[in-house]
Structure 1
């Protein structure tokens, strides 16, 4: 199991790669792209955000 700092780096790198791939996919789509968002917090006030793209 990697150290917590290394694990954070791995997760951040994965997120960057995933975001880059999604942007490339959206740029190649034909027509319009619509976005839906949602914000919420859990019982101990951790905040969350979801973004969904429809294309």
Structure 2
């Protein structure tokens, strides 16, 4: 950032790593609560899908996704997915 700012950015203007960590955790909590509320308000059944993969370093990953329907504001239905 100092390089891109062409010397106009001071070290004191950059957020400390603990501040960035806190910002990421706050956003995670907000998204977690939104997902939880969406799933609580699902109509009928909730379908789940999974996906497994590994990267070139053989690190393994798994994703679980919830698929469900909710009401939109106009008496219609809306399809939603959420990474669980």
Give the TM-score normalised by structure 1: 0.70
Structure with larger RCO (C-alpha < 8 A, sep 6+): 1
**Cα distance, 1:14 vs structure 2:** 0.7
Residue of structure 2 equivalent to 1:53:
66
Higher fraction of helix: 1
Q: What is the Cα deviation at residue 35 of structure 1?
A: 1.5
Q: Supply the RMSD in Å over aligned alpha carbons.
A: 1.9
Contiguous gaps of at least 5 residues in structure 1 = none
Which residue of structure 1 aligns with residue 74 of structure 2? none
- Distance change in 2, residues 1:7/1:39 (3 Å): farther
> Paired residues, what number?
55
SS of alignment partner, residue 54 of structure 1: strand
Higher percent of residues as strand: 2
